[in-house]
Structure 1
Amino acid sequence: MIISTIHTLIPTNLQTVWNTVTSLNDYGWRSDLKNIEVHSSSSFTEYTNSNVPTLFTITLFKPFCRYEFDMKNENFIGHWTGVFRETANGTEIIFTETITIKKWWLRPFAKIYIKKQQRRYIADLKKQCLK
Structure 2
Amino acid sequence: MGREIVSIATALVPYPPERVWAVVTDLDCWQWRSDLSRLDHVGEDAFTEYDRSGFPTRFTVTERRPLSRWAFDLDNANLAGRWAGEFRPEGGGTQVTFTETITVKKPWMRFFAKGYLRRQQARYLADLGRALEQEGGT
Q: Would you say how many aligned residue pairs link Structure 1 and Structure 2?
A: 131
Pairing of 1:48-127 with structure 2 (within 5 A): 48-127=51-130
Structure 1 unaligned spans of 5+: none
Aligned to 1:42: 45
Q: Is 2:6 the partner of 1:32?
A: no
- Equivalent position SS for 2:119: helix
> 1:114, 1:41 → 2: CA distance?
25
Equivalent position SS for 1:129: helix
- Aligned Cα RMSD in Å? 0.7
Kept after mapping to 2: 8 A contact 1:12/1:130: no
Distance 1:108 1:83 in 2: 28
Residue pair 1:46, 1:54 contacting (<8 A) in 2 also: yes
Displacement over 4 Å in runs of 4+: none
Query: Cα deviation per residue 1:1-40 (whole Å; 9 max; x = unaligned)?
Result: 1000001000111111001000100011100001111122
TM-score (structure 1 length as normaliser): 0.98
Report deviation, 1:88: 1.3
Asked if residue 130 in structure 1 is aligned to residue 133 in structure 2, the reply is yes
Q: Percent identity?
A: 44
Q: Which runs of 5+ in 2 are unaligned?
A: none
Whole-Å Cα distance in 2 between the matches of residues 51 and 123 of structure 1? Answer: 22
